[in-house]
């Protein structure tokens, strides 16, 4: 898995086999130069002592450093020694020790924050990395029986914390990866990797107040695919500069069943235990000048909480959860599209929770679901990844974006045998901030439908959760904003936002 080896290595298995290896030889010096150019193109400063032994090359005291723009602090990573050995078939073997000490130094920008130092051991069992091809296209191959990360020491300022106070252990088994890097006018890279099983544990034990946190987790059948394109001429000081220069990247993570357990120990406020599990899912990320895409999906989700003061565990589950977000990242004179979706399906709670407010079981204990699908157009007034944007957002008067249109593609909320649905669209007049007291004026229409509302009110009254007088008030409010639908126990409402700044519900002015 790429995250268990130096980032510059981009460990991987070959995509193609060369019929005539001698015609496509690559040298240790070319492989090291490829790593160095890649890391420097990402904004890192690379240092190391190079020692040649015939065709072989050893790089010792290897160190990657980065400096955040405008005094934003610095980070340095020390990796020790790597050896690049020329093989007889024209490929290069990258020799790594089975235990590689790594030091990460983080220097904050402000004098009040304390510097951090992480001492980490990168462990590998039977690691094998080879590079084949030529200087213009290199194929990387990596495999290992196991790979792990172990935090051996943490320093915060001048204080040192050992394994009894700060610990992190990660172990992956059955690793295989492949990567192809092609260099022309741009650097194009494609990767694929797999991990059979993954385990991790995080420990934080505060010696000052006797509180502690322990997080354990495991996963299986992990797959990673991705690729990137980076201009060779870009001089980037940050992610925003890289995107503006034409950087594109994409990645997909898939995973099978797994789970986590979190234990919080607090002698004053009580202990907390949280256990989660899922059958698996996926995560997709894409980044380009056109925008950022972030989507995920997970199935068979369960959560079990034991909280202080509760005599029973809080348990709930969900058949499937998904989200999808696409947003612009660079400023533009014209509005750019965006979209957002959240879909939660098959949400259920344990009977112990239901019995708190519905001991007589008057309410239907069916599963609940929520679907919200939005799209629109927005004009960014600041680049999303510009560090100055984050500083400006600290000002409550700052306006990072100007929304111009919003479409409700779908709304669906199902619970207690009732369902609310809706759709519609509005345009926003950003020149008129007076009609809605500082907000852009919306102009458009939204339609809503509600099924099962009266039956639900009857059930709430029967269970004692809703007094009869309040039930009458709820029915009166529904009558003001909605009209009877075509089917029994259904209501419909058409909400219009007029150019004059009015809001009409089924033709009746409510604002």
* 31 belongs to a structural domain: yes
* 399 belongs to a structural domain: no
Residue 167, pLDDT score: 93
Please count the structural domains in the chain.
1
* 114 belongs to a structural domain: yes
Does the pLDDT of residue 70 top 60, yes or no? Answer: no
- Per the structure, the complete domain to which residue 136 belongs is given by 1-175+187-205
* 319 belongs to a structural domain: no
CB-CB contact of 161 with 147 (8 Å): no
396-418 mean pLDDT = 92
CB-CB contact of 235 with 69 (8 Å): no
* 156 belongs to a structural domain: yes
Which of 72, 131, 76 minimizes the C-alpha distance to 103?
76
Helices vs. strands in the chain: H and E counts, helices first: 6, 27
pLDDT tier at 183 (50, 70, 90 boundaries)?
A: confident
Query: Is the pLDDT higher at 438 or at 20?
Result: 438
* 167 belongs to a structural domain: yes
Q: How far is it, in rounded angstroms, from Cα 32 to Cα 486?
A: 72
- H helices of 125-273, where? 239-244
Does the pLDDT of residue 1 top 50, yes or no? Answer: no
Does the pLDDT of residue 6 top 60, yes or no? Answer: no
Q: Reduced to 3 states, what is the DSSP secondary structure of residue 179?
A: strand
pLDDT tier at 471 (50, 70, 90 boundaries)?
A: very high
Q: Which residues contact 110 (CB under 8 A, 6 or more apart)?
A: none
Residue 364 exposure: Cα atoms within 13 Å on the Cβ side: 13
Does the pLDDT of residue 58 top 70, yes or no? Answer: yes
Cα–Cα distances in angstroms (integers) from residue 428 to residues 356, 401, 438, in the given order: 44, 13, 12
CB-CB contact of 85 with 28 (8 Å): yes
Which of 485, 475, 490, 482 minimizes the C-alpha distance to 510?
482
Query: What pTM was computed for the model?
Result: 0.84
pLDDT tier at 294 (50, 70, 90 boundaries)?
A: very high
Q: How far is it, in rounded angstroms, from Cα 42 to Cα 36?
A: 10
pLDDT tens-place string over residues 312-334: 889 999 999 999 999 999 988 89
Q: How far is it, in rounded angstroms, from Cα 483 to Cα 478?
A: 8
pLDDT tier at 234 (50, 70, 90 boundaries)?
A: low
Of 6-20, 50-64, 447-461, the poorest mean pLDDT is in: 6-20
What is the 8-class DSSP label of residue 22? G
293-305 mean pLDDT = 97
pLDDT tier at 447 (50, 70, 90 boundaries)?
A: very high
**CA 463 and chain centroid, separation:** 41
First to last CA, the chain: 58
CB-CB contact of 180 with 138 (8 Å): yes
The mean pLDDT of the chain is 88
User: What phi and psi values does residue 422 have, to the nearest 5 degrees?
Assistant: -165, 160
User: What phi and psi values does residue 510 have, to the nearest 5 degrees?
Assistant: -115, -5
Q: How far is it, in rounded angstroms, from Cα 477 to Cα 496?
A: 18
CB-CB contact of 445 with 471 (8 Å): no
* 426 belongs to a structural domain: no
Which of 180, 285, 189 minimizes the C-alpha distance to 232?
189
DSSP collapsed to 3 states, 360-374: CCCCCCCCEEEEEEE
* 439 belongs to a structural domain: no
CB-CB contact of 252 with 282 (8 Å): yes
């Amino acid at each position: 898995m790429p995250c268990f080896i130096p980032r510059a290595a981009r460990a991987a298995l070959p995509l193609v086999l060369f019929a005539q290896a001698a015609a496509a030889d690559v040298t240790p010096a070319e492989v090291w130069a490829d790593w160095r150019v890649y890391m420097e193109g990402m904004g890192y400063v690379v240092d190391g002592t190079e020692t040649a032994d015939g065709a072989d090359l050893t790089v010792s005291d290897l160190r990657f450093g980065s400096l955040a723009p405008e005094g934003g602090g610095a980070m340095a990573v020390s990796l020790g020694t790597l050896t690049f050995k020329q093989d007889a078939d024209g490929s290069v073997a990258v020799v790594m020790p089975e235990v590689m000490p790594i030091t990460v130094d983080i220097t904050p920008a402000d004098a009040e924050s304390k510097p951090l130092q992480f001492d980490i051991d990168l462990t590998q069992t039977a690691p094998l990395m080879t590079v084949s091809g030529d200087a213009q296209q290199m194929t990387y191959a990596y495999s290992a029986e196991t790979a792990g990360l172990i935090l051996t020491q943490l320093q915060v300022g001048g204080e040192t914390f050992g394994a009894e106070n700060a610990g992190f252990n990660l172990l992956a088994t059955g690793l295989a990866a492949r990567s192809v890097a092609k260099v022309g006018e741009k650097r194009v890279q494609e990767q694929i990797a797999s991990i059979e099983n993954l385990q991790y544990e995080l420990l934080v034990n505060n010696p000052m107040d006797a509180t502690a946190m322990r997080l354990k987790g495991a996963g299986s059948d992990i797959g990673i695919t991705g690729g990137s394109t980076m201009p060779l001429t870009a001089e980037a000081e940050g992610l925003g500069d890289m995107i503006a220069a034409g950087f594109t990247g994409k990645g997909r993570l898939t995973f099978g069943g797994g789970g986590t357990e979190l234990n919080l120990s607090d002698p004053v406020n009580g202990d907390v235990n949280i256990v989660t599990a899922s059958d698996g899912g996926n995560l997709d990320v894409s980044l380009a000048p056109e925008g950022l895409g972030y989507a995920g999906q997970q199935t068979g989700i369960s959560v079990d909480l034991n909280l202080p003061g509760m005599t029973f565990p809080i348990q709930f589950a969900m058949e499937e959860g998904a989200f999808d977000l696409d947003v612009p990242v660079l400023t533009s004179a014209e509005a750019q599209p965006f979209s957002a979706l959240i879909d939660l399906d098959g949400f259920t709670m344990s009977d112990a929770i239901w019995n708190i407010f519905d001991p007589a079981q008057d309410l239907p204990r069916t599963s609940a679901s929520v679907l919200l699908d939005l799209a629109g157009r927005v004009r960014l007034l600041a680049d999303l990844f510009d560090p100055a944007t984050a500083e400006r957002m600290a000002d409550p008067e700052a306006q990072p974006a100007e929304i111009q249109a919003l479409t409700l593609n779908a709304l669906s909320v199902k619970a207690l045998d009732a369902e609310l649905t809706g759709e519609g669209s509005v345009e926003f007049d950003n020149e008129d901030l007076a009609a809605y007291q500082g907000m852009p004026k919306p102009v458009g229409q939204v339609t809503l439908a509600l099924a099962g509302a009266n039956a639900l009110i009857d059930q709430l009254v029967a269970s004692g959760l809703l007094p009869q007088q309040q039930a009458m008030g709820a029915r009166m409010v529904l009558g003001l904003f909605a009209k009877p639908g075509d089917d029994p126990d259904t209501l419909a409402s058409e909400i219009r936002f007029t150019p004059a700044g009015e809001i009409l519900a089924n033709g009746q002015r409510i604002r």
